[in-house]
Amino acid sequence: MDLKLAGKRVLVTGGSKGIGLATVRAFLAEGADVVAVSRTKTPELEATGATFIAADLAEPDAPARAVLASGPRLDVLVNNAGGGTMPDGAFDDPLDGDDQAWAYAFGLNLDSAIRTTRAALPALLAARGAVINIGSTAARDPRGGPMPYAAAKAALTAFTRGLAEKYAGAGLRVNVVTPGPTRTDVFESKEGFIAQVADHLGLDHAAVVEAFPRQNGMLVDAIIEPAEIARAIVLLASPTMPSVIGANWIIDGGTLKAA
Ligand SMILES: NC(=O)c1ccc[n+]([C@@H]2O[C@H](COP(=O)([O-])OP(=O)(O)OC[C@H]3O[C@@H](n4cnc5c(N)ncnc54)[C@H](OP(=O)(O)O)[C@@H]3O)[C@@H](O)[C@H]2O)c1
């Protein structure tokens, strides 16, 4: 199947590992020209041959600088950088974190996507391109993550819909992908959210990951591979899907129980 992405210029935030790295690889496999942005360049990203721009997107000026550095032309923006670990002491906080923790979660998961989109908008409109934001099931079921993270992802989902409505007439398609539990550092790293939860509950990290699907209402027996999320992102970016606009593609192994 030709997704007509060959030669398209694609910017993926958080492209150094996890879902972002899988997305970089998937676009490269389609013949796209890919720029990845994150704070650090991993050997795995290096091996892809994608262009790398170092930036801490939680800093207010960084998204505009990164977009400028990526060059004047852009067809596809994937706002993927994000995450929701618990800051020290947040498990004991009634709102899962103080003002600073809430501001950081919104800065990383929402503001960075808004700022990157703002900077990239002229090029995306000129290309009649596509934006894909990466949300989370936590937006719909906040039990799935720290509250500041869940609230920021819910706001990102609303931002996606608003942007889609506003720019559909100009030929820009904006959609959100909502991943459920996905096998990245969130689950696998000793510093990831699931390791934090396991530590907090006094449970074995590997056992929590193993039991996660059946303990959390998934209808499949394994957490999701990043490549599956990436396939949806690439399809949403494809000009062969002109009618998918303002949509929320949920890829969660059946975790969310509403239709
Ligand atoms: N894994 C899941 O179960 C899951 C579920 C639902 C939604 N999601 C969402 O999917 C997206 C990707 O998550 P993932 O699981 O792939 O996480 P990951 O493996 O931890 O990767 C996160 C990526 O974002 C980058 N990043 C983090 N903070 C950044 C910052 N301040 N500035 C620039 N880049 C930054 C990281 O690179 P550096 O650290 O080098 O900066 C990395 O490339 C996130 O938006 C996450 O909320 C994940």
Ligand 1 touching residue 97 (CB < 6 A): no
Task: Note whether 172 and 207 are same-domain residues.
Answer: no
- Joined together, the tokens standing for residue 149 give 């993270």
Supply the residue whose CA is at minimum distance from atom 24 of ligand 1.
Answer: 14
Task: Note whether 169 and 116 are same-domain residues.
Answer: yes
The CATH number of whichever domain residue 155 belongs to comes to: 3.40.50.720
Ligand 1 touching residue 85 (CB < 6 A): no
Q: Which amino acid, residue 49?
A: G
| Residues constituting the chain | 259
Task: Note whether 207 and 160 are same-domain residues.
Answer: no
pTM over 0.95: yes
β-strands 173-179, 248-251: how paired? parallel
Q: Can you tell me whether residue 184 is helix, strand or coil? A: coil
Number of domains into which the chain is organized: 2
Task: Note whether 80 and 120 are same-domain residues.
Answer: yes
Task: Note whether 95 and 27 are same-domain residues.
Answer: yes
Task: Note whether 91 and 210 are same-domain residues.
Answer: no
Q: Greatest CA separation found in the chain? A: 53
Helix axes 147-167, 99-106, angle to 10 degrees: 30
pLDDT of residue 220: 97
Task: Note whether 106 and 14 are same-domain residues.
Answer: yes
pLDDT at 47 over 90: yes
Cα–ligand 1 centroid distance for 81 (angstroms): 5
Task: Note whether 27 and 150 are same-domain residues.
Answer: yes
Supply the residue whose CA is at minimum distance from atom 18 of ligand 1.
Answer: 18
Task: Note whether 75 and 130 are same-domain residues.
Answer: yes
Q: How confident is the model at residue 35 (pLDDT cuts 50, 70, 90)?
A: very high
Task: Note whether 116 and 192 are same-domain residues.
Answer: no
Task: Note whether 90 and 202 are same-domain residues.
Answer: no
Where do runs of H (alpha helix) occur along the chain?
A: 18-29, 43-48, 62-70, 99-106, 112-127, 147-167, 185-188, 193-201, 205-215, 226-237
Task: Note whether 158 and 53 are same-domain residues.
Answer: yes
Q: Give domain status of residue 145, yes or no.
A: yes
Domain span at 140: 9-181+229-251
Active-site residues, by number, are 149, 153
DSSP 8-state code for residue 58 = T
Residue 121 CA to its chain's centroid (Å):
18
Ligand 1 touching residue 39 (CB < 6 A): yes
pLDDT digits (tens, 9 = 90+) for 58-86: 999 999 999 999 999 999 999 999 999 98
